[in-house]
């Protein structure tokens, strides 16, 4: 399913779409929300990657604090998720400027402008909200290019893709 150039992230993720005609203000609002979400995910997910070379007492105190925060965030995420309607998960390939997905339901036609809501992590039940133009439909396989080409947003998507790619490689090498 992957024809996207550059680094991509392949996973089965909750995805919802709807037809939309965004204004510049709506695109800017979605961009801001996406930046906040990607930065928050980076912060949450990088906590496990930190290596504390400081005093072992400090390191243990930080680990205990992080464990407590993880519990609180997990419970809060579950509570929020109960209030949300999380869409069905589908195979997705996310790139820096495009997305591909597979779905059996009737979906948009080539050229349609859509808003995709993509849930990247159960740690934060808030989705990325991506406005895109459908570029290809082949059976149950769909491709779309993002309308927003903001450099800062692309940078944060790239960071996220690299982080997920690195984790996938680490998981493969642990076996």
16, part of any domain: yes
Residues 31 and 148: beta-carbon distance below 8 Å = yes
Using one digit for the tens of pLDDT, what is the confidence trace for 137-153? Answer: 998 999 999 999 899 99
134, part of any domain: yes
Residues 43 and 66: beta-carbon distance below 8 Å = no
- Distance from C-alpha of 120 to C-alpha of 82, rounded to nearest angstrom: 17
74, part of any domain: no
109, part of any domain: yes
38, part of any domain: yes
In this prediction, residue 17 carries a pLDDT of: 92
4, part of any domain: no
Quick one: which of 148, 115, 103 has its CA closest to 13? 103
Residue-number span of the structural domain to which 128 is assigned: 9-49+87-173
130, part of any domain: yes
Rounded to two decimals, the pTM is: 0.78
Rounded to an integer, the average pLDDT of 55-83 is 67
In this prediction, residue 26 carries a pLDDT of: 96
Number of domains making up the chain: 1
146, part of any domain: yes
CATH code: domain of residue 118 = 2.40.10.220
- Distance from C-alpha of 44 to C-alpha of 37, rounded to nearest angstrom: 10
Residue with tokens 């080409």: 149
Using one digit for the tens of pLDDT, what is the confidence trace for 115-174? Answer: 999 999 888 888 999 999 999 999 899 999 999 989 999 999 999 999 998 888 888 877
């Amino acid at each position: 399913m992957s024809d996207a150039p550059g680094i991509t992230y392949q996973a089965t993720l909750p995805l919802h779409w709807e037809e939309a005609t965004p204004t510049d203000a709506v695109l800017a609002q979605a961009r801001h929300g996406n930046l906040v979400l990607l930065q928050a995910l980076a912060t949450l997910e990088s906590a496990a990657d930190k290596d504390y070379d400081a005093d072992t007492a400090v390191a243990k105190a930080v680990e205990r604090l992080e464990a407590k925060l993880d519990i609180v965030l997990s419970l809060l995420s579950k509570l929020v998720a109960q209030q949300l309607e999380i869409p069905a998960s589908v195979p997705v390939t996310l790139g820096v400027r495009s997305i591909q997905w597979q779905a059996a339901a009737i979906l948009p036609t080539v050229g349609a402008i859509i808003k995709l809501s993509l849930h990247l992590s159960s740690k934060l039940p808030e989705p990325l909200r991506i406005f895109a133009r459908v570029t290809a439909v082949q059976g149950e396989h769909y491709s779309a290019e993002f309308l927003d080409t903001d450099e800062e947003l692309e940078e944060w998507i790239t960071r996220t893709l690299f982080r997920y790619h690195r984790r996938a490689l680490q998981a493969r090498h642990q076996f």
